[in-house]
Amino acid sequence: MAIWGKMFGGVAGFAVGGPFGALMGAALGHAADNGSLLKPSTGGWSERFPSRGRPDPNSAAFFGAAKIAAALGKRDQLYAIGLVALSAKLAKIDGPVNRQEINAFKACFQFPPDNTKEVGMLFDRARDRTDDYEMYAREMGKAYGDNKAPLENLMVALFRIARADAGPDRELHPAEVTFLKRVHVAFGLPPGAWDRAQSGNARAASSNEPDAYRVLGIASTATDKEIRVRWRMLIREHHPDVLAQKPMTERERQRAQDRVARINAAWDRIKRDRQL
């Protein structure tokens, strides 16, 4: 994944660029040097995976990096930090992290060998606590409000990690199910995305398919009723009978008809995703 190179291109794995980036990098680098940021426990992720069973007093620095990435519009960095954090916390949520979960994580997110150490440091730091995962998911949900495909792909990966150490019945631990459901909500994904992720098939992103919620001019977190009301309002506004009462050129009329078609297509897509 190309995001790893971008993420680890600066001091302490946080490349923001420019004078501000240099200052932020120096600050994060100092935090790393004195053990307050991203410093793994002895042994590390590739050598041992036991739970330390205590909150991480330095987790604010880790989440702070995610917040800074979000504030600066660095979605790639936020995504990279978030996916490592969520993967680590999910692996830990049902008990000590094991090798099956580590291997599943590595298989889902292939990163350059040069960045193995940095990813391991992030993973080890993130798994120190599991009560803060929704904060990362909410930041990612806001950052990717106009494009949910990356988040849906991440949900698929999280399901794979959760199932890595499942028994023959493939049943997930209750804590894992709760984790996944809350992340799904925090991401702002529709019910259809949950079903696709559970089956291991995220919806393929299409460069020529506009975001359905953006077409309707409504947030993806809106309720079914709110979306239905919005769709009806737009259809009334752009209905052919209404437009026929207005003086319009043939080109304007064609644009209006295309607009109605896009509105209906968006509504149909949302209905399919939400199983309405």
Q: What is the pLDDT confidence band of residue 99, given thresholds at 50, 70 and 90?
A: very high
Q: What is the pTM of this model?
A: 0.61
Mean pLDDT, the chain, rounded, equals 75
Length of the chain: 276
CATH level 3 topology of 212-274: Helix Hairpins (1.10.287)
Q: How far apart are CA 157 and CA 201, in angstroms?
A: 10
Q: What pLDDT digit, counting tens, does each position of 196-229 carry?
A: 888 887 665 444 445 788 889 888 778 889 999 9
Instruction: Report domain extents, the chain.
Output: 58-206, 212-274
Kindly report the backbone phi and psi dihedral angles of residue 148, in degrees, each rounded to the nearest multiple of 5, phi listed first: -85, -5
CA neighbor of 213 nearest in space, from 198, 201, 197, 231: 231
DSSP assigned state of 9: S
- 62 or 125, which is more confident: 125
Query: Which residue is listed with tokens 């959760």?
Result: 162
Using the predicted structure, report yes or no on whether residue 78 has a pLDDT greater than 50.
yes
Q: What is the pLDDT confidence band of residue 33, given thresholds at 50, 70 and 90?
A: very low
Q: How far apart are CA 245 and CA 208, in angstroms?
A: 33
What stretches of the chain adopt beta strand conformation (E)?
A: none
